[in-house]
A and B are shown apart, each in its own frame.
Chain A
Amino acid sequence: MSSKRHRRDVIVETRSLSMHFGGVRAVDQVDFTLFDKELRCLIGPNGAGKSTFFKCLTGQLHPTAGNVLIQRQDTTGAEPHEIAGLGVGIKTQVPNVFDGLSVDENIWLSARRWHKPKRARALTAETIERLRLGDIRRETVGRLAHGQRQWVELGMVVAADPWLVLLDEPAAGMTHEETARTAELIREINTEAALIVVEHDMQFIRMISSQVTLFHEGRILMEDTMEAISNDKRAREVYLGHRA
């Protein structure tokens, strides 16, 4: 599938995308493009609109105006399962896992969606190995620690073998060690797929060393490397200044 695409192909595009809640413009006429195999982080202070933007991409929210195109297909207002059906792996901010099922079953349900039983079993085993979930594979996910649940969710994303991955705060609530491992995993996924990662943690973004899109008040303020953004005065004012 991926051989047909080229590195400079645009695979995600939004055209003056807007999402209003009552009078609040959470996302305001955003034009955004993502190329194939790209790794992009979305950052911005709380309420900058990055999570709302993310939810418009995943179909959790239906935008008020504008368009979303994934691989040149108009997915504006599509349901989450239709977006996933294009081969997009999605991880939400709050860990969304099947709490009552085992780690194994969680990942199997993802793999089995797109693959025949035999291949699905192999993929499940592979994913469990890759994410080092072997020791807890029979545990009920609801009983696991927060960081482990995050990983189960990442496992579900990986197991579907997606070509585009959308992650909302994948490192939230993880220990330092787990964060480093997640960064490693993201770079690994990036060899096969493009990624959009919403993240707060600057350290983490430096670890995955990606292009960064900075959101502010519902709009894109700038797009550059983390390095450049850290040195930019405007960016520091709206975001980094809050932390310093």
Chain B
Amino acid sequence: MNGRDTLRKMRPVFVFALIGVIFMFTAPYVLQLFTIINLTTAIALAVLALSLALVWGFGGILCFGQVAFFGLGAYAYTIAAINFGGSTWAILVAIMVASAFAALLGYFVFFGRVSDVYLGVITLTVTLIFFSLIRRTSGPEYTIGKALMGGFNGITSPPLNLPWDAGSFLFPEHVFYVAMAALILCYVFCGWLVTTHFGRVCVGIRENELRAELLGYDSRLYKLGIFTISAGIAAIGGVLFCNGVGRITPDVFNLYNAALTIIWVIVGGRGTLIGPIVATFGLFYLTSALGGQSLFNNNLVLGIILIFFVLLVPKGLAPTVTDWFTRRRKPRRAAGRRRRAARRTGATEA
């Protein structure tokens, strides 16, 4: 794998990133402010989806509690920003807290060699316990520094400000730029990570853990690594989310949100990064549209979508679409190769 190979492999990543950049600079001129604010929330969720796409789709780690790191990031940001009186260091704190927690949890599960089904259930359980714990913190005695935890009402999140200038808050359209830039950067970062030696070992472990160990790779360390990194990315999503919504409540940790994250990745497809991102935007607008009526309950629709995909489209949309394209293109390309080879050898058959 040399530099040129990496660039070749990352070509689709750059294409999608470019589309993202174009969207980022045109959207505020085309769309209304209300839509832009809504979009910011969707972008935050897309970062969350991306983090799960990395750890599950490439690391093969069945994490049902990705939303825990997202929520933890949002809470850590909010509490730190209130205490520091500015957002610059709070963002860093958010990423550190979520990653540190993931590293600790990951140490226990990966070094205990817990099987993947257990892992899913444990991460989900951790998430639900966060939910019930933070809901209980409604009394005035529950404070961290200057921040009041607020129980099920949550905390109002201080908005982002310019770096090291706590006085100049960003306006919603600026938060949109920040969110979109963060999504694109995280996406390119993940796209790069999976082409590195580290990323490819992680994929190897996903494919066959014993083989990776027999080659001399300590699979536990690699799993811990990708788990921690993805938690950090989820935390970035959390920071954007509480900025988009304006507050953070324990509901972020509930079963519905945990399921939603899984559904984005299942629908978008495991083993791709762009699939889950696109699926997040699609399902975000579907659920908002459903929220406006009461005939079909959101849970009902998502449950049906999840069952439908698991039974009938287990690979998800993006891989299914690419498979279809490569199947169509392959015969043509092979024919082209034969023709070129024939020309080179000077053969004259038809």
Chains A, B in direct contact (C-beta < 8 Å): yes
* Chain B hits for A99, CB < 8 A: 207-208
Q: Is B2 an interface residue (CB 8 A)?
A: yes
Contacting pair A113 B215 (CB below 8 A)? yes
Q: List 25 A-B contacts (CB under 8 A).
A: A58-B214, A60-B210, A80-B213, A80-B214, A84-B215, A90-B214, A96-B208, A96-B211, A96-B214, A97-B208, A98-B203, A98-B208, A99-B207, A100-B203, A101-B207, A109-B200, A109-B204, A109-B215, A112-B197, A113-B217, A114-B216, A117-B1, A117-B197, A121-B1, A156-B211
Among the listed A81, A97, A101, A117, which residue makes an inter-chain contact with B216, where contact means beta carbons less than 8 Å apart?
A: A81
CB-CB nearest in chain A for B3? A117
What is the interface of chain B mostly: helix, strand, loop, or mixed?
helix
* Chain B hits for A96, CB < 8 A: 208, 210-211, 214
Q: Max chain A CB contacts within 10 Å: which of B200, B203, B208?
A: B208
CB-CB nearest in chain A for B197? A112
Contacting pair A98 B204 (CB below 8 A)? yes
CA distance A121 to B219 in the complex (A): 23
* Interface pairs A-B: 5 shortest CB-CB: A84-B216, A98-B207, A80-B213, A96-B211, A81-B213
Q: Is B103 an interface residue (CB 8 A)?
A: no
Q: Max chain B CB contacts within 10 Å: which of A100, A109, A117?
A: A109
How many Cβ-Cβ contacts under 8 Å join chain A to chain B? Answer: 67
Contacting pair B218 A92 (CB below 8 A)? no
Q: Max chain B CB contacts within 10 Å: which of A98, A101, A121?
A: A98
CA distance A96 to B210 in the complex (A): 7
CB-CB nearest in chain A for B211? A96
Q: Mark B218-238, 1 if CB is under 8 A from A, else 0.
A: 110000000000000000000
Q: Max chain B CB contacts within 10 Å: which of A79, A81, A84, A105?
A: A81
Among the listed A81, A90, A109, A156, which residue makes an inter-chain contact with B219, where contact means beta carbons less than 8 Å apart?
A: A81
* Chain A hits for B207, CB < 8 A: 98-101
CB-CB nearest in chain B for A59? B213
* Chain A hits for B2, CB < 8 A: 117, 121
Which residues 158-202 in A have Cβ within 8 Å of B in the complex? 160
CA distance A151 to B4 in the complex (A): 28
Contacts A112-B197, A117-B2 given; indicate if A85 touches B214 (C-beta within 8 A). Answer: no
* Chain B hits for A101, CB < 8 A: 203-204, 207
Least CB distance, B203 to chain A, in whole angstroms = 7
Least CB distance, A22 to chain B, in whole angstroms = 21
Q: Is B179 an interface residue (CB 8 A)?
A: no
* Chain B hits for A156, CB < 8 A: 211, 215
* Chain B hits for A90, CB < 8 A: 214
What is the interface of chain A mostly: helix, strand, loop, or mixed?
helix
CB-CB nearest in chain B for A85? B216
Which residues 15-73 in A have Cβ within 8 Å of B in the complex? 58, 60
* Chain B hits for A112, CB < 8 A: 197
Q: Is B44 an interface residue (CB 8 A)?
A: no
Q: Is B201 an interface residue (CB 8 A)?
A: yes
* Chain A hits for B204, CB < 8 A: 98, 101, 109
Among the listed A81, A100, A110, A114, which residue makes an inter-chain contact with B218, where contact means beta carbons less than 8 Å apart?
A: A81
Contacting pair A109 B1 (CB below 8 A)? no
Among the listed A92, A100, A105, A114, which residue makes an inter-chain contact with B214, where contact means beta carbons less than 8 Å apart?
A: A92
CB-CB nearest in chain B for A111? B215
* Chain A hits for B219, CB < 8 A: 81
Q: Is A108 an interface residue (CB 8 A)?
A: yes
Q: Max chain B CB contacts within 10 Å: which of A92, A100, A108?
A: A100
Which residues 217-262 in B have Cβ within 8 Å of A in the complex? 217-219
* Chain A hits for B197, CB < 8 A: 112, 117
Which residues 172-216 in B have Cβ within 8 Å of A in the complex? 197, 200-201, 203-204, 206-208, 210-216
Least CB distance, A153 to chain B, in whole angstroms = 8
CB-CB nearest in chain B for A100? B207
CA distance A112 to B215 in the complex (A): 10
* Chain A hits for B203, CB < 8 A: 98, 100-101
CA distance A81 to B290 in the complex (A): 51
Least CB distance, B268 to chain A, in whole angstroms = 18
CB-CB nearest in chain A for B5? A121
Least CB distance, B97 to chain A, in whole angstroms = 31
* Chain B hits for A92, CB < 8 A: 210, 214
Contacting pair A81 B200 (CB below 8 A)? no
Among the listed A81, A100, A108, A121, which residue makes an inter-chain contact with B217, where contact means beta carbons less than 8 Å apart?
A: A81
CA distance A223 to B304 in the complex (A): 64
Contacting pair A98 B211 (CB below 8 A)? yes
Q: Max chain A CB contacts within 10 Å: which of B1, B201, B212, B216?
A: B216
Least CB distance, B73 to chain A, in whole angstroms = 31
